Amino acid sequence: MSLSASEKLRRFYDQFSSNDHVLIVIDADPDSIACAMAVKRLLWRKVACIDISNINIIKRPDNLAMIRLLGIKLTHISKIDKAGFNRFVMVDSQPEHNESFSEINPDVIIDHHPETEVQASFTDIRPQYGAAASILTEYLRAAKIKPSSKLATGLFLAIKTDTDNFVRQTSFEDVRAFQFLFQHANVHLARKIEQTEMRFDFLKYFKSALENMRKRRNKVYVHLGLVVNPDICVIIADFFMKVNSIRWSIISGICNKKLIVVFRNDGLRKNAGEIAKQSFGDIGSAGGHKNMARAEIPIGDLEEHVTYKDDKILLRWIINQIEKRAGKK
């Protein structure tokens, strides 16, 4: 039997007392950041203190803009004295999602990804939801809390991001949460955050991509060489999908001793996640959704297959891996 939002909220509150020192642990992205903001608001004046800690290094310009413009205070996990906390909350993730969570034993887990047989005193995992922010919005409404403009903007932006403006997996509950948040969010601030996609020094990668792209029928392939951030591959891949004749965009780069290959397509034909697995799954990690996917191959494993230091040779190898495994459609 499914529990009502009020009952879930009551069980959530039962995990805490007024003397608790609470640490919210996240793998920071728009959804997890907004959910952490919501948990902090729910526990305001109900516990002794609440801090938010990120396990990842935040480099995406839009995520940095979100943190700055919404006034969110985050502390990296490496700077946290975990002994100072007696309650741990995990949102938009589960312990098995990242090895950096291994030292955390969460008391509360709220997430929308598929369940990984997690153990915690309180879990609320709903894979049918497009964003964890929709779950936390239900908690706020059950608590009769009117979200501040900044909190509503964060949750609003999280739902937009994780559902890709409602073209990815979305439930009726996501739409209902979005409609509620729209009444309280600052949409101009949300747009400002969304449009902060890159730093000035990212522009050189566009020049490189345009000069070195390889077009095969309706596909564009680009190898960017060394990149300072894997998100650059994502930005370039999304950029090429705005060209009307392009159905596939496959962009690669090397970062942190890994080859990163980002796939984008129009979602009408073959499954990008399956093609990523077929092409690179036997030598690295690969997978994703129908219209977006990613592969990561450690340089040590790549050396057995191709001379990765020659960008042209590496690009030809990437193209061959994809074309021979996935066909030419």
Identify which has the larger pLDDT, 212 or 329: 212
**Residue 269: is its pLDDT beyond 90?**
no
Both tokens assigned to 188 = 């101009």
- pLDDT tens-digit series, residues 205-246: 999 999 999 998 889 999 999 998 888 999 999 999 999 889
Query: Are 95 and 82 contacting, i.e. CB atoms less than 8 angstroms apart?
Result: no
- pLDDT tens-digit series, residues 40-71: 999 999 999 999 999 998 988 899 999 999 99
Phi, psi of 5 (to 5 degrees): -60, -35
Strand order in the sheet with 258-265: 214-216, 219-226, 248-255, 258-265, 292-298, 285-288
* In the chain, % of residues over pLDDT 90: 71
Give the DSSP H/E element, type plus range, for residue 294: strand 292-298
Show the domains of the chain with their CATH numbers: 5-195 (3.90.1640.10), 203-326 (3.10.310.30)
185-202 burial: b if 16+ Cβ within 10 Å, else e: bbeebbeebbebbbeeeb
| DSSP secondary structure, 150-170, as one string | HHHHHHHHHHHHHTTTTTSS-
Residue carrying the six token digits 């509503």 = 152
- pLDDT tens-digit series, residues 123-136: 999 999 999 999 99
2, 52, 4: which is closest to 25 by C-alpha? 52
